[in-house]
Amino acid sequence: MDDASQSTMQLLETLQSANEQIKKQKYKYTLLGYRTSQAGFILSGSPFTVHENGEKTEYHGCLVLGFVVQGKDQKEYDLGLTIFWDATQWLITTELSEVNDEQGQVIIKELPERKCDKLSDCLREILEAVSDLAQFEEIVTAFEKGSE
């Protein structure tokens, strides 16, 4: 295999591993009696622009990995990471959000962003970000029925 093919294979194997880790985390919630969605894997390969705090960032695409848990308070919580990329770097965000019909996704907790400019670093950071989703378990399981 040439270098590009090997890099592609490494990326796909890392995404496979990340998806398996997410399924295991999702299963822990199921064992605790929570309803969960199927593990999600959404790829947007179209360029887009993000406007935030008066600044504009152009990305070539993004990949979202995660799942939704219905809490004991009957609210839905989205646990996931998003991998953005442009011509110079990868950006990985890891978030716990409440899925709210009126307000959309309301971020409850966001972990520090991860930035890297090498594929090998990105692959490592993806797996670490997936592992970090476990930090949200304590928050999700703390919400009791009727609590705010």
| pLDDT tens readout for residues 24-35 | 999 999 999 999
Over residues 84-94, mean pLDDT: 96
DSSP string, the chain: --HHHHHHHHHHHHHHHHHHHHHHHHHHHHHTT-EEPPPEEEEE-S-EEEEETTEEEEESEEEEEEEEEE-TTS-EEEEEEEEEE-SS-EEEEEEEEEEETTTEEEEEEEPPPEEESSHHHHHHHHHHHHHHGGGGHHHHHHPPTT--
Q: How does pLDDT run across 55-73, given as a tens digit for each residue?
A: 898 999 999 999 999 988 8
Q: Which residue has the higher pLDDT, 93 or 99?
A: 93
Across the chain, mean pLDDT equals 92
Its pTM stands at 0.89
**pLDDT score of 5:** 94
